[in-house]
Chain A
């Protein structure tokens, strides 16, 4: 039995392409002229032979394997060279050198983030030493920003550390160019009065802001970013077979195989894609041109395929039957809202590459009715020759689609008076390959979240009533923020905690009322008591968890790979639970 793997990626694990490699260039077949050979098998055998020769002259791009590549090997397999390059170009600012902030930075310094700056004006206290692994008794009384930067810098000399002794109140007056040197800002436990202004500036400058907070067993993380676009969302699979709407070459390929004329072994090695195409055609002919749609029809269709089995080991037919549901699904364009978005439709001189590509894809869909083909063919039972021939049919179509998009992108760029190579071929190719899975996140500002007029009142209020839900923890963080600002200390930090508990509860109730609610509910009261009990206590373990979550989201934002969460996560270390909301 011969099993063929898809070339390039398999469909079960995240792809591990590098910036310069892609399935389309994995071998030279894809660069052959794309006419479909009249007899698929014969033509492909020739191409196959050519492929082996042509490869010898394949130019190699200069890339020298360095110690750095080795050090980062295990992460390059997740976000590849282009993700790493983005990380190495990034400069991250941390406001307040708390333990959680240090943990987030630690997880960014280790993978080689280009530079980081810590802004803080406090001196190291006993409490800092308790919660922060990287501070010890010798740091006591020294500037926190400096000491934490020193220790983090030791973790990785590839990352440039800077510290600024800066009272965060002064941020209000800084020149707006101050912010422009940073690619992303992390702020831990900052008073709303300062925070709102910082958030506003960054929002306007489209610089991502990540907020974190941790008290006792509770943790909080919020991503504030106006627009975030992702091409490499790393879907589980990029397989797109188009069995319901085969293009002429694919149809021709299936037609050219006469199943009845094959001997038993050949018959058992016809790729399931071909089997499905043939039976779908037969079904449509018998059913007035429509494919099997309802459940009963799909079962009948499976029986029809089953009736064609000749071998005692019909693995290819089994694969075909298993794929019936997917094959009878109509190929759709899942991202129409992105394609129709005014940012794609009305390009202007500041349009980002993403929107230009989206526009080209939109035009492609207008012409073809479908997105560019990914060209990925999954693993299936088949003989080598036919598998490769079929793969070539898919790849050739993918190359043709890509070339059309490339052409269109060049036109769009010149219409915008930009050089036609402003978007690289690699970027266009990646976009085409992942076009079904591109993601646009239009975030909500902190202003929108905090202002009762625009707040997600219903979501918050219903969350508060949910049994075992974590919304009370969100409310707790909001209330503690206000408490701290009013009292210049955290609730629970004095001997007598009862007053603090009452006080915190009334602040929480104010928030609930401002959102149109009338009471806190039992579980919110419990949670608020826990906030008071924990005081300002920062558990290292929770900070460390937060450091993991936070840095993970930062990496997604900086590399523009994988889909970041929308937009708030709260976690409860007592129940080991987390909840994500768009607030």
Chain B
């Protein structure tokens, strides 16, 4: 069989390396399908595929490995099956799983020669970036949106990493704008989706990433009022499933709450005051005006619905969603967590609710209403996606992989694709790492501990202070702040209790700024959990006894190496001191709070928040753009 003639001819010397390569592909969506096809036909020896997503109808316009009958099935598994059907010889492994699962450890990443990111969200991109830096595996990062796309080669110590440049983070809105003073359609849409929907059908808190709940002296009293409103809404939920429920909700949010807002006369001196709307009036007029059934109205996504139509859809969708939730609750096993509904732009009933509720609120505030088509895009963070852009970007990814396999990083490139007709894509040379980057310009070290015994106190005192010479002024952070000089509530907790386990990254931020110098760069400790097995118990006990005699002795941890932790470079004069290279969008917020920190009662909030902002990859700060191929083109 001359199965390889074409490629060998064209690829020449690289082909042997391609054949021997073991690569990981994270994501089997738009870019992923194209990439998998290209990797298979280029002859890559072993391909691993990880994706947690399932196939949706709206994927089929570009994700050609999937068909109608695959809807709701695992992307990774179907992609593997389809690709192997056409090319039975290829070694293809697929996992329907989250790349952040502990099974995909640093050691697992190290098995690959190369990792391709074909992801759709910032959070996972950052995570894989960090894993590849730690495992020292080259990464090819890619993304598309509409006609635009980008490919970036990331090699630890040689090139910029994904986080060397700040990324634009999806916008969040101040809670008061959403709840009290909306002025744009998007404010009403966020209200409908992140406040009303979640309070009625979802989890009982407004901790949505769309909302910025920070309290300051300006909004403290209003935030208090809003909390009261939340409570009142919860009481209405007692009527859940009764025929009264829809009316109660309607009157609460479109009449009672609005009346309360109107009572704050000062707020409406320079704004158009909201006008409450009445359930009874709609109830009377809607039947006369809307001849169509609600489902018929809702199936029409292009025109802007009339008020009466919005009312009819609102009523209908509240009833449907209530019935659905009740059914779920009935079916739920005793003792399991209470089932909830979550907004999904492709779940028509949830979308209809958001459209109608948002438009009714727009009416109240004199804001223009929007069509279902438009609201779907705004509520669902929909990113346009087409086959052609994905095909081009996936092709470029493979071209870049040849440079890496050929140890020719100097000729690897950052490639941008735009819809400008003068040039199809433009390339830039790879830049060296940003010395201020908090993700790649850090010190790293592995630490083996028994997470069920090792405490935060042990870490701070034994490892950081005694062994590594840190001062008192440090913060210890995972996905939350665990410790700093003013926050020692956790010191007696074990790693296990703090949620630190095998594979967790613990970041140490040096906050001591010696005269004429800078703090040390962040230290990233990667935890290897060592569980004491029976045979070792004796030894451990012995050691423990020994320990008790001698006080704190470093017997119950092991560092993989003694890391060298250089000082940070002197910041460029233009940079504000507070703006540590942070890219999670929290900087602005914390900087703002800092200025208001004279206000005593706010100090604690401020410290916590500022700390958090100094760490780069923190899930809760990131609004996941939950569709294919979101990218950030700076």
Residue in B4, B38, B57 whose beta carbon sits within 8 Å of that of A544 in the complex: B38
Residues in chain A near residue B555, CB distance under 8 A: none
Residue B398 is within 8 A (CB to CB) of chain A in the complex: yes
Residues in chain B near residue A579, CB distance under 8 A: 423
B side interface size, CB within 8 A: 93
Whether B34 pairs with A14 at a CB distance below 8 angstroms is no
Complex-state Cα separation, A69 to B351, whole angstroms: 15
Chain A, 431-467, CB within 8 A of any chain B CB: none
Whether A544 pairs with B300 at a CB distance below 8 angstroms is no
Within the complex, what minimum Cβ distance (angstroms) separates B458 from chain A?
49
Residue A106 is within 8 A (CB to CB) of chain B in the complex: yes
Whether A58 pairs with B306 at a CB distance below 8 angstroms is yes
10 extra interchain contacts, Cβ-Cβ under 8 A, other than A73-B58, A534-B10?
A7-B368, A60-B309, A73-B382, A78-B386, A111-B62, A126-B3, A155-B64, A541-B38, A562-B419, A580-B422
Complex-state Cα separation, A14 to B5, whole angstroms: 44
Q: Which of A363-371, A507-515, A565-573 contacts B (4 or more CB under 8 A)?
A: A565-573
Whether B64 pairs with A60 at a CB distance below 8 angstroms is no
Residue in A70, A112, A131 whose beta carbon sits within 8 Å of that of B346 in the complex: A70
Complex-state Cα separation, A106 to B390, whole angstroms: 12
Residue in A61, A69, A74, A552 whose beta carbon sits within 8 Å of that of B303 in the complex: A61
Residue B526 is within 8 A (CB to CB) of chain A in the complex: no
Q: What 1/0 mask marks residues of chain B from 390 to 431 whose CB sits below 8 Å from any chain A CB?
A: 111111101110000000000101010001011111010000
Known contacts: A4-B184, A130-B4, A538-B10. The answer to whether A552 contacts B390 by CB under 8 A is no
Chain A, 531-571, CB within 8 A of any chain B CB: 533-535, 537-542, 544-545, 547-549, 551-552, 555, 562-566, 569, 571
Known contacts: A133-B37, A580-B424. The answer to whether A562 contacts B147 by CB under 8 A is yes
Complex-state Cα separation, A18 to B299, whole angstroms: 16
Known contacts: A111-B386, A127-B2. The answer to whether A56 contacts B400 by CB under 8 A is no
Complex-state Cα separation, A218 to B415, whole angstroms: 17
Chain B, 281-320, CB within 8 A of any chain A CB: 289, 298-309
Residue A266 is within 8 A (CB to CB) of chain B in the complex: yes
Q: What 1/0 mask marks residues of chain B from 64 to 78 whose CB sits below 8 Å from any chain A CB?
A: 100100000000000
Residue A279 is within 8 A (CB to CB) of chain B in the complex: no
Residues in chain B near residue A72, CB distance under 8 A: 61
Known contacts: A26-B304, A65-B299. The answer to whether A576 contacts B415 by CB under 8 A is yes
Whether B2 pairs with A74 at a CB distance below 8 angstroms is no
Within the complex, what minimum Cβ distance (angstroms) separates B523 from chain A?
36
Chain A, 49-90, CB within 8 A of any chain B CB: 52, 55-58, 60-65, 67, 69-78, 81
Q: What 1/0 mask marks residues of chain B from 5 to 49 whose CB sits below 8 Å from any chain A CB?
A: 111011110000000000000000000001001101110000000
- Top 10 closest pairs, chain A to chain B, by CB: A548-B391, A545-B395, A548-B392, A540-B41, A537-B9, A537-B10, A552-B388, A60-B303, A77-B384, A74-B385
Whether B307 pairs with A55 at a CB distance below 8 angstroms is yes
Q: What 1/0 mask marks residues of chain A from 207 to 230 whose CB sits below 8 Å from any chain B CB?
A: 000000000110000000000000
Residue A385 is within 8 A (CB to CB) of chain B in the complex: yes
Residue A182 is within 8 A (CB to CB) of chain B in the complex: no
Complex-state Cα separation, A77 to B62, whole angstroms: 14
Chain B, 353-375, CB within 8 A of any chain A CB: 363, 366, 368-369, 371-374
Whether A552 pairs with B389 at a CB distance below 8 angstroms is yes
Task: Give the interface centre of B67, B269, B298, B301 by most chain A CB atoms within 10 Å.
Answer: B301
Residue A265 is within 8 A (CB to CB) of chain B in the complex: yes
Residue A578 is within 8 A (CB to CB) of chain B in the complex: yes
Whether B3 pairs with A130 at a CB distance below 8 angstroms is yes
- Interface size class, chain A: 35 or more
Complex-state Cα separation, A76 to B411, whole angstroms: 38
Residue B572 is within 8 A (CB to CB) of chain A in the complex: no
Minimum CB distance partner of A112 in chain B: B61
18 contacts between A and B (CB under 8 A): A4-B183, A20-B302, A48-B366, A57-B306, A65-B372, A73-B61, A74-B58, A130-B5, A535-B9, A539-B6, A548-B390, A549-B392, A555-B386, A562-B419, A576-B400, A577-B427, A578-B425, A579-B423
Q: What 1/0 mask marks residues of chain A from 319 to 361 whose CB sits below 8 Å from any chain B CB?
A: 0000000000000000000000000000000000000000000
Residues in chain B near residue A55, CB distance under 8 A: 304, 306-307, 369
Complex-state Cα separation, A563 to B184, whole angstroms: 32
Chain B residues in contact with chain A, CB under 8 A? 1-7, 9-12, 34, 37-38, 40-42, 57-58, 60-62, 64, 67, 85-88, 146-147, 181, 183-186, 269-272, 289, 298-309, 346, 363, 366, 368-369, 371-374, 376-377, 382-396, 398-400, 411, 413, 415, 419, 421-425, 427, 627-628
Minimum CB distance partner of B427 in chain A: A576
Whether A75 pairs with B37 at a CB distance below 8 angstroms is no
Known contacts: A70-B346, A130-B41, A544-B34. The answer to whether A216 contacts B306 by CB under 8 A is no
Complex-state Cα separation, A61 to B369, whole angstroms: 17
Complex-state Cα separation, A7 to B185, whole angstroms: 9
Residues in chain B near residue A580, CB distance under 8 A: 421-424
Whether A110 pairs with B395 at a CB distance below 8 angstroms is no
Within the complex, what minimum Cβ distance (angstroms) separates A43 from chain B?
15
Residue in A4, A385, A541 whose beta carbon sits within 8 Å of that of B395 in the complex: A541
Within the complex, what minimum Cβ distance (angstroms) separates B71 from chain A?
10
Residue A242 is within 8 A (CB to CB) of chain B in the complex: no
Whether B390 pairs with A60 at a CB distance below 8 angstroms is no
Task: Give the interface centre of B269, B372, B423 by most chain A CB atoms within 10 Å.
Answer: B423
Minimum CB distance partner of B391 in chain A: A548
Residues in chain A near residue B67, CB distance under 8 A: 154
Known contacts: A21-B302, A58-B303, A384-B271. The answer to whether A565 contacts B61 by CB under 8 A is no
Complex-state Cα separation, A20 to B371, whole angstroms: 12
Residues in chain A near residue B304, CB distance under 8 A: 26-27, 55, 58
Minimum CB distance partner of A266 in chain B: B270
Complex-state Cα separation, A537 to B10, whole angstroms: 6
Secondary structure at chain A's binding surface: helix, strand, loop or mixed?
mixed
Residues in chain A near residue B4, CB distance under 8 A: 130
Within the complex, what minimum Cβ distance (angstroms) separates B92 from chain A?
14
Whether A56 pairs with B306 at a CB distance below 8 angstroms is yes
Whether B5 pairs with A127 at a CB distance below 8 angstroms is yes
Residue A527 is within 8 A (CB to CB) of chain B in the complex: no
Known contacts: A65-B299, A75-B385. The answer to whether A131 contacts B391 by CB under 8 A is no
Whether A384 pairs with B301 at a CB distance below 8 angstroms is no
Residues in chain B near residue A577, CB distance under 8 A: 427
Residue in A52, A541, A569 whose beta carbon sits within 8 Å of that of B366 in the complex: A52
Complex-state Cα separation, A576 to B41, whole angstroms: 19
Whether A547 pairs with B3 at a CB distance below 8 angstroms is no
Within the complex, what minimum Cβ distance (angstroms) separates B298 from chain A?
8
Whether A5 pairs with B302 at a CB distance below 8 angstroms is no
Minimum CB distance partner of A383 in chain B: B270
Chain A, 117-147, CB within 8 A of any chain B CB: 126-127, 129-131, 133-136
Residue A3 is within 8 A (CB to CB) of chain B in the complex: yes
Known contacts: A106-B64, A134-B86. The answer to whether A126 contacts B5 by CB under 8 A is yes
Residue in B372, B374, B387 whose beta carbon sits within 8 Å of that of A110 in the complex: B387
Minimum CB distance partner of B390 in chain A: A548
Whether A548 pairs with B395 at a CB distance below 8 angstroms is yes
Minimum CB distance partner of A151 in chain B: B86
Complex-state Cα separation, A571 to B395, whole angstroms: 12
Residues in chain A near residue B392, CB distance under 8 A: 545, 548-549, 552
Residues in chain A near residue B395, CB distance under 8 A: 541-542, 544-545, 548, 573
Residue A2 is within 8 A (CB to CB) of chain B in the complex: yes
Complex-state Cα separation, A7 to B371, whole angstroms: 12
Complex-state Cα separation, A578 to B308, whole angstroms: 55
Whether B146 pairs with A551 at a CB distance below 8 angstroms is no
Residues in chain B near residue A107, CB distance under 8 A: 387-388, 391
Minimum CB distance partner of B83 in chain A: A133
Known contacts: A58-B306, A265-B270. The answer to whether A547 contacts B391 by CB under 8 A is yes
Whether A385 pairs with B303 at a CB distance below 8 angstroms is no
Within the complex, what minimum Cβ distance (angstroms) separates B106 from chain A?
30
Residues in chain B near residue A69, CB distance under 8 A: 301
Residue A232 is within 8 A (CB to CB) of chain B in the complex: no
Residue in A78, A130, A564 whose beta carbon sits within 8 Å of that of B146 in the complex: A78
Whether B61 pairs with A74 at a CB distance below 8 angstroms is yes
